[in-house]
Structure 1
Amino acid sequence: MKRFLRSLRNEANSDCQYCRELHDGQLRISATELIQGLLCCPACQLLYQSISPSDLSDPRIVLAHVRLSGDSQVSHTFDPKSEAMSRQLRAEEGFSKGGWFAGPSYPPAATYSPVERTVELFSLEGHTSHWLNIGTSRHISTAADAPECLDLIRTWVSDCDRKHRGCKKTSSAILPDRVIFVGSGADPHLVESQGTLGKYIALSHRWGGEVPLQLKKHTANDFKRGIPFSQFPKTFQDAITICRALAVEYIWIDSICIIQDSKEDWEIQGSKMDQVYANCFLTIAADAAENSHAGFIRTSERQDLRTKTRKLVCYGPKGEKSEIFVRPWREFGSLGGFGRHYFESLEREDLKPPQRLTDQGSYLLRRGWVLQETFLPPRALHFLPGEVTWRCASVSRCECQLRPHGSVVHEPLDRERPREISSDDLKEYWKEVIEQYTRRQLTFPSDRLAALAGCASRAHSSSPDVDYYAGLWSDALPSTLLWVVDRPPVNSGGHGDCDSHRIEPSIAPTWSWASVTGYVDFLFWKRNFDRGSWAKSAPDLTVVHIHCPPLGQNKYGSVGDAKLTAEGYLCKVRVWLTGGSKWHFPFKMEAQNLDGTLSKASGFFYPDTEEVLASLQKERESGMSMMVVSVYESRLFLVLRQIEESQLVFERIGVCHCHVSDEVVLSEWGRRERFTIV
């Protein structure tokens, strides 16, 4: 960016006082100044030409200023002519209510929230722009199966195969139990592989309702004889087209390779999901397809981008004729949309779900089943609405840019960073996996464990001596019992969709995060709690035994009749809520000591479900009786409800932590006893 600004400053007409007004690493020119600079400054002429003629002629808005902030990124800021127009534009086009961020200050004359358009300036490879720091890029193809786009994809695959030492070689592998043969130009047909070797592609897609083509017990023989290409829904047809273009003979599609009306087959195949995605030649991620009918090769966004790409015939700093293109800047990447059009984290909790989809361009981003389809494959092609992108363990690329992308974020599990996510990574960062996963959507809450089974199986391979209990690892207990339910603020737009309820019928014990539908957060490992340093101290609670049998054949799937037996200080307390916020609630707590005296403490309560929260709010005056057991430091407690009067058998209903200033003497509050949580 600084080189670009320096180039404009050094090469522009020295008489242009506006282009010399460069400070703090950015250029901002008011509309009046820009127009005055047109006659003498080629840089001003270039910036003015980058403005869309339709915006300049729009009677609802007036140009306020033009701003350069980034490598070839230009923003045009317009003022609406009235507050009503400002509200209308925000409603129609989703403009940010808060306006813009970059720039030393918004012009004081502005009365209403501004409208901002951002574009990218670029030249084509082999053509010189005479503005040396305007980058070279590619045009986006009108369709993903256009010859130039398919050639580009083949180049990415070939480069990975031949040049990437850090990438896993995928010439052939043991085929999944069932695959679809798509080679030789004949109609595809289902194949039972019986352990043979081959090269196959896996499809990651959104069902989006009923998929018309499904493998059922009564259709298996028909599918083996052949499936006419015309019977495949459009998204599947597009995947087969890409598969054939890459000369790969087999494809794996879940709805056709798993018997949909067989619970037993679902359990068996679900337990092998890590192998399906880890051993594939690559994964096709149909990000642009809303459902199986939509397809992803030809999209309106591609057509729109080409339509809005304009050629600017302009002049360089010394009067040389130059050819530069301008097109809309796409701000948000999505599981493969990296690089210069990538700005922020994928998890933007300030946006409503429809806005996330529009901005990030992926129907897969919020789907629970797709998380493992993102982590497990060695490499993937993401077919976004506006372009195709590539990601492998060594590099990430996109259709619109020539250069590979560097690392844009540094989270250990972020698929925007080009590297393989190993079994060690998944195990070490399991808490982060759960936090990401539980913020995604599942059509059936009963899939809460099944949809993560592939990741669990991969993580387990790095630590085979560790036991897996309904989403938690034995070597991380008892600390990871302290998960909490996160309730996003109402204005995030997701509040109604992420209310937390106990999943019925039960698929996990109440001490597991998988027993509830809400967003899960490992809050006590965050900065405010010294990043979990407390977990290094001796726990107050001892796990004695865990009984956690799987309900079916998938040992990483749903469990039944699970019990956790532990020893700790059980304390009967009365709790009053004293306030409330988006996800934790101030409370005060009283306990009758063994000697008959009362002890008091206060802190924050994190209820597991809306039902528990409603009960606490109903009993604000008199308080609610419950049991607590300290897990660490006499201030991090599991909150329990007794379900068998004659025995010490409980269910978990939440977590609470007491303020450090409140002294809690466990031996005075209760007795150390052995008890069971179900």
Structure 2
Amino acid sequence: MSEAGAGARLNSIEVLVGYGRNFMRGRIHLYAPKESPAILSGDVVQKPMLVDDTMRPSELVQEWLSSCVSHHDLCRKAFSGDLVNEETIYPGAPHRLIEVYEKSDGASQPSARLIERRPRVDTRPYMYVALSHCWGPPNERPLCTTRASLGQHMLQIPWGQLPQTFQDSILLCKELSIQYLWIDSLCIIQDDEEDWSIQSRFMGQIYERALFTIAASSAKSSTEGLFRSGKADRVLAYIEPDLEKCISSSPLNQRAWVMQEYFLSRRIVHFTIHGLLWSCKNGKGSETQYMMSEFGSSWEAVSEDDWRALVQSYTRRQLTYKSDKLVAIEGLSRQFSYRYKIDRSFQYRHGLWLENMPHDLMWYGEERLVRDRGNYIPSWSWASTTGPISFKASVFGNPEVFHAHVTGGNLTFILGMEALVRRIDDLEGPVRCQAFCFEDVQDMGSTGRMHEEYRDSSVHVAPTFVFRSGGKKVGWGVFDQHEEPSEDVFCLPLIKQKVWEGFASSKEQHFLWVLLVSSVAPGKFERVGWGLHFVPSWFDGLIARLISLA
């Protein structure tokens, strides 16, 4: 720290840690509680800490909320593009809400009960907040509304049966004078498949229309509550936690369901082990850090291409029931659809977008995937597998793409190239694959060692095998699963890309991004992998035809 002369004031302390020429540099900012001697004397010139020992969490939330509602125009706009007025009625409002009210007997805690809205009869506006929380393991399952308990919950929800996170959320609503709260386990009848199916479709709208979302970010179950730590000692030297890391690494953010809750909520209050964090579409802040602006600009610029990035993150999250794989992201897909209908009609099928074909088909497992047999999801969708997936990065150089369209549950290709098959002299790999063909089938293939030298810098997976033709290696492929396909394997070209031999070279080359498919019936195939072929002329002589990919 530099020497402080007469009249000097402290802003921060710079710390160097290391030996010789190898050291790390860090800066500790100096804060102080309001009305403290350090602030009153002017010794600390940073803005005072936002929270002092007497400030209640609800007071800080109220400050953030009031500032956002008054000044952030961006936060009035839902992701779907609609302007949100919390005091007006809108289609798709929650069918049930928890009403927070005071009992006449003067009890210290508020009371709560379920109410049901009748959209065509009930014309009152409902300003509400939503809760995002971890349910926890089966032995810590939160209180749920069932067909048997619905009547009781409409009269009153027993306070003693509410887990700590629910109690804390209700108390927060009381202190903020917010009358209504939405909690999934209580507002959806959990043992009624019809009710669950109907209400889950509106989850996207529920979170984006809420005044704000309460995120129990650090709690692994609903029994742990919102407040994970007591008041920290307020010292002058304070190391501000990384806000992004606090949120991204939290237990709550590991849940698959939470992706759409976080993405669609216009305002979120995160309750973490480091204290309260605020995020909205205009900025972020913490108990010691004032609101940072410009956070919402990337949200405004989001495009259909960002769907792939969302899916990549989604497949790395935890999901208790495999059957929820597409349901847990359905609300987000619906809001994407509403947003892009402004320009054109986007059609969503099994986790992919028709207008993004065939680029959305270029996904692969970062590790060997497990195919979820017996579900209704076709093999060409990433949702038919379990495991983290990635998408091939955007293909540059004016690629030639093959037209694809969806009919029902199948994806039908119109193969736009005239050349599709040529005999392979050799196929090296840990599994035995037959010839890749559509017309004039020819037997090819052999076993051998796996080669990893033929890789693309944007693809983070090792090839399973290498194509050979005329003694030369002409491409590579990778299977989705460990198991060897039991039927013959075929090669289906998706995109023809133009490349150059080297930097500043004018000599063009072309290669093909391909799907690997296996026949399951005449004219019907399923996906088993994907790859890259360096010699498009390998397909010369094939007549294009329509196939069905199930």
Contact 1:280 1:377 in 2 (8 A): yes
TM-score (norm 1): 0.64
Structure 2 SS opposite 1:388: strand
Letter in 2 for 1:165: D
Work out whether 1:330 is the aligned partner of 2:241: yes
Shift of 1:267: 1.5
Alignment of 1:121-140 (within 5 A): 121-125=30-34, 127=39, 136-139=48-51
Residues 619-663 of structure 1, C-alpha deviation per residue, up to 9 Å, x if partnerless? xxxxx952111111142000111122xx021110111013xxx42
CA gap of 1:155–1:653, structure 2 versus 1, over 3 A, is same
Work out whether 1:479 is the aligned partner of 2:359: yes
Q: Structure 1 stretches of 5 or more lacking a match?
A: 1-7, 14-41, 47-70, 78-99, 108-113, 311-324, 338-345, 347-359, 408-416, 488-498, 526-531, 549-561, 592-597, 617-623
Shift of 1:395: 2.6
Contact 1:235 1:295 in 2 (8 A): yes
Match of 1:238 among 135, 149, 168: 168
CA gap of 1:132–1:234, structure 2 versus 1, over 3 A, is closer
Partner of 1:285: 215
Shift of 1:276: 0.7
Alignment of 1:195-594 (within 5 A): 195=119, 196=122, 197-210=125-138, 211-297=141-227, 299-300=228-229, 302-303=230-231, 305-306=232-233, 309-310=234-235, 325-331=236-242, 333-334=244-245, 346=248, 360=249, 362-401=250-289, 403-406=290-293, 417-418=295-296, 421=299, 425=302, 427-464=304-341, 465-487=345-367, 500-525=369-394, 532-534=395-397, 536-539=398-401, 541-543=402-404, 545-548=405-408, 562-568=409-415, 571=421, 572-573=435-436, 574=445, 578-579=450-451, 583-585=461-463, 587-590=465-468
TM-score (norm 2): 0.78
Q: State the distance in 2 between where 1:173 and 1:428 align.
A: 33
Q: State the distance in 1 between where 2:413 and 2:133 align.
A: 43
Q: State the distance in 2 between where 1:611 and 1:131 align.
A: 68
Structure 2 SS opposite 1:441: coil
Q: Structure 2 stretches of 5 or more lacking a match?
A: 77-83, 104-109, 422-434, 437-444, 497-510
CA gap of 1:222–1:240, structure 2 versus 1, over 3 A, is same
Work out whether 1:656 is the aligned partner of 2:531: yes
Residues 432-451 of structure 1, C-alpha deviation per residue, up to 9 Å, x if partnerless? 21122112111122211111
Structure 1 SS opposite 2:67: helix
Contact 2:243 2:277 in 1 (8 A): no
CA gap of 1:73–1:202, structure 2 versus 1, over 3 A, is farther
Letter in 1 for 2:113: H
Structure 2 SS opposite 1:201: strand
State how many pairs are aligned.
476
Partner of 1:183: 101
Letter in 2 for 1:72: S
Partner of 1:313: none
CA gap of 1:133–1:542, structure 2 versus 1, over 3 A, is same
Q: Pairwise CA RMSD of aligned residues?
A: 3.2
Structure 2 SS opposite 1:610: coil
Shift of 1:405: 1.9
CA gap of 1:73–1:677, structure 2 versus 1, over 3 A, is farther
Q: Percent identity?
A: 26
Structure 1 SS opposite 2:377: coil
Partner of 2:62: 154
Contact 2:315 2:388 in 1 (8 A): yes
Structure 2 SS opposite 1:631: strand
Q: State the distance in 2 between where 1:610 and 1:178 align.
A: 46
Partner of 2:494: 631
CA gap of 1:202–1:139, structure 2 versus 1, over 3 A, is closer
Q: State the distance in 2 between where 1:599 and 1:122 align.
A: 70
The answer to which structure has the higher helix fraction is: 1
Structure 2 SS opposite 1:292: coil
Partner of 2:504: none
Structure 2 SS opposite 1:206: coil
CA gap of 1:450–1:511, structure 2 versus 1, over 3 A, is same
Q: State the distance in 2 between where 1:149 and 1:236 align.
A: 16
Residues 531-554 of structure 1, C-alpha deviation per residue, up to 9 Å, x if partnerless? x225x4322x332x4233xxxxxx
Q: State the distance in 1 between where 2:449 and 2:327 align.
A: 36
CA gap of 1:202–1:426, structure 2 versus 1, over 3 A, is farther
Letter in 1 for 2:49: S
Partner of 2:441: none
Q: State the distance in 1 between where 2:374 and 2:52 align.
A: 49
Q: State the distance in 2 between where 1:381 and 1:398 align.
A: 10
CA gap of 1:477–1:223, structure 2 versus 1, over 3 A, is same
Shift of 1:216: 1.0
CA gap of 1:257–1:419, structure 2 versus 1, over 3 A, is farther
Q: State the distance in 2 between where 1:393 and 1:585 align.
A: 41
CA gap of 1:604–1:231, structure 2 versus 1, over 3 A, is same
Shift of 1:608: 1.8
Letter in 1 for 2:130: A
Contact 1:446 1:507 in 2 (8 A): no
Shift of 1:123: 3.1
Partner of 2:439: none
Partner of 1:606: 478
CA gap of 1:240–1:664, structure 2 versus 1, over 3 A, is same
